Chains A and B, each alone.
Chain A
Amino acid sequence: MAVKSTDELPSEVLDLTSTTLFEMRALRTPELERAIQHTIREIRLGRFGDCVQGQRD
């Protein structure tokens, strides 16, 4: 498939794929703290991120 554009769409999701788990366990940065608090807030608001999409016969 052809690449149509090199522009990027920004996201608020922290990229934690390059941070090792050893680093992550003790990591304390404002960005990570915000992401953690955001996750906690969402769950406490009932947004669990586990909606099921189903189609019946």
Chain B
Amino acid sequence: MTSGDAAAAGPGTHRLPRFVFDQFLTGAVSSAGIAFLRKGQYSLRRLKLRVLADAAAELAHRLGPFADVDAAWRVLAEVERSDAAVVEDVLLYPSVGVWLSRALRHVLGGIEDPTPMWSEVGGFHALAAAAAVRGGVPCELAVPVVHGSVALPSVGLFRLSTGFPVGHARLRNTATETVVTAFGSTSPARFEPVKRYSEHRRGHRVRVVFDDLDPYRGFGGPKAADPLDDNEYDQWRKLMGEAWDLLTAHHSRWAEELSATLATVIPLSAEHDVFAASSSAAFGGIAMSPKRSATEFAEALVHEVQHSKVNALLDLVDLHHGDETPRYYAPWRDDPRPVVGMLHGIYAFISVVEFWNAQRGSAPPALARRAHYAFGLRAHQVGQAVRTLLAVEGLTGLGREFVTAVADRLAACGPVELPGELAATVEAITTEHRGRWRVRHVRPEPAVVAELADAWLSAGSAFPVVGPDHVVLAPSSGGSRLGELLKRRAMGTDRLDFGDGPDSALARGDRRGAVEGYAALIRAAPHEEAAWVGLGLALGSTALRRTPEVVRAVHLAATRSGAAPDPVELAAWFDRTAS
């Protein structure tokens, strides 16, 4: 069938070979499998580009210098005719997906943003210009100026002498040069090129751009370039090289997967509290903060590339047909999550469990404790989330296979045996986190709370609370001091300066002191969520560990009746029923 025949018949739909899904279930996907995911992503980018072109054409009167979207389309099509690989590479550049998503929101409504629509749609012209420059195709296009620069995705950045935040310039590309005209002044466009890095070890090559220039690299609205200085770039390259060495030596299947998927690493500043991040709009893009070791760098790569895979898989097949309400407890998050978020989490973190399980035996002394801790914590968390997901209604057959496969991979890691007191500390960390999540987001049935309060006040017996949780999305109250102290203990931080208070007492192992401290806190401030959770840990109370929100609500209800229960006695009263 010729290309013309295909066009006449109309395009068909993608079909994902079952072997690719089977590879998903076992963990790493081969380069042949990733190629199918990339094709799916490429089709979706092309479809969205067409939607954008159609919608923008209707809004031409509001697009100023970028009104002629078809001019940009023609340039892109010309480049494709001469070198289709260039267009594919530019269109699949991770930040292009982020820009495309934002531009569509602009033209279809539903975005409130300081960046004007005409500038954001102008990204189409920048995309076409990038392809033309890379493909050596002559063109002349208006291009957006953002934060005083012309940015061409996958090419680089040309800084204008002005610092105006948003505007436009005119770019002319010929066989011999690229020039930019702005404010009546024309000059050669000497682009600060993107930082391309390549490494080859043991038959696996990784090619990546350290993206510190693109306005859309941060998975959100356009932001100014923040180029690494030479020392910083040396450090990023050094760790990437060492991470690649580690991955190819000990995790060759993930190395193959990363080699086929990874496109950009977006350096975040050290001030970010983000370990690493990815976006469903940016296949192959991974943002991360600076890492202290190649092992952590490799962990972040392996973890985040799983999200890219799952995003691309979910674009092609359904794993879930149920509602999308965020109602589930994900042990690695403070907020309730929808099923799709849970699926992402278990799939990404099982790879982390496997990664650290393999590293535990070979980690250098400085990282040994971290390796055991990361393995134990993530294994515990994945196990808990898998149990939640297996009880969820609405998983498709593929979705159930997906979750079961994660359970199988967790089981294959063997029993979670941790050295010394680490197992108890990990257990305390996970219980504390779940407890805080419950008191913040789970609302006990008021009638049940009233009945329990009556039982307490009349010296009756408690009874088990059954039924589904009523989960609400409550605002975050910030991090947990106890959680942080327990983490420091788990990591074996050299200087464990715990300070005062019940959290410190508990982290030091002084449970009696912690009980007294938490009880005093609750007497002074009965609403205090963290104190109830800490008390549950200090007492080893079954009821407070399982359903702290119920004990706390009954305490508040009984207090309103005039007699504030002693929190320790109330917990013991619940525990007599729970045990």
- A-side residues, CB < 8 A to B, are 1, 3-25, 27, 29-32, 35-36, 39-40, 43-44, 46, 48-57
Across-interface contacts of A23 in B (CB, < 8 A): 3, 7
Residues A50 and B15 in contact in the complex (CB < 8 Å), given A13-B40, A21-B77, A55-B276: no
* Bound: A35/B50 CA distance, A: 11
Docked-complex contact A21 and B13, CB < 8 angstroms: no
Closest chain B residue to A53, Cβ basis: B307
Looking at the assembled complex, report how far the CB atom of B221 sits from the nearest CB atom of chain A, in whole angstroms: 11
Does any Cβ of A come within 8 Å of B344's Cβ?
A: yes
* Bound: A2/B278 CA distance, A: 29
Residues A9 and B398 in contact in the complex (CB < 8 Å), given A52-B279, A53-B348: yes
Docked-complex contact A6 and B18, CB < 8 angstroms: yes
Across-interface contacts of A31 in B (CB, < 8 A): 10-11, 13
Provide the B41-83 mask, 1 if CB < 8 A to any CB of A, else 0.
0111011101101110000000000000010010011001100
Does any Cβ of A come within 8 Å of B289's Cβ?
A: yes
Q: From DSSP, what is the main secondary structure of chain B's interface residues?
A: helix
Docked-complex contact A9 and B289, CB < 8 angstroms: no
Interface segment out of the listed B19-27, B207-215, B547-555 = B19-27
* Bound: A43/B281 CA distance, A: 13
Select B14's contact among A7, A15, A48, A49, beta carbons within 8 Å: A15
Across-interface contacts of A6 in B (CB, < 8 A): 17-19
Across-interface contacts of B19 in A (CB, < 8 A): 3-6
* Bound: A12/B13 CA distance, A: 6
Across-interface contacts of A48 in B (CB, < 8 A): 101, 104-105, 281
Looking at the assembled complex, report how far the CB atom of B519 sits from the nearest CB atom of chain A, in whole angstroms: 31
Docked-complex contact B398 and A15, CB < 8 angstroms: no
Docked-complex contact B81 and A36, CB < 8 angstroms: no
Please, could you name 8 A-B residue pairs with CB atoms under 8 Å apart, sorted by A? Answer: A7-B17, A9-B15, A19-B6, A20-B81, A52-B220, A53-B278, A53-B348, A55-B303
Looking at the assembled complex, report how far the CB atom of B296 sits from the nearest CB atom of chain A, in whole angstroms: 10
Provide the B393-423 mask, 1 if CB < 8 A to any CB of A, else 0.
0000010000000000000000000000000
* Bound: A1/B13 CA distance, A: 26
Closest chain A residue to B479, Cβ basis: A56
Select A9's contact among B18, B110, B303, B307, beta carbons within 8 Å: B18
Looking at the assembled complex, report how far the CB atom of B377 sits from the nearest CB atom of chain A, in whole angstroms: 12
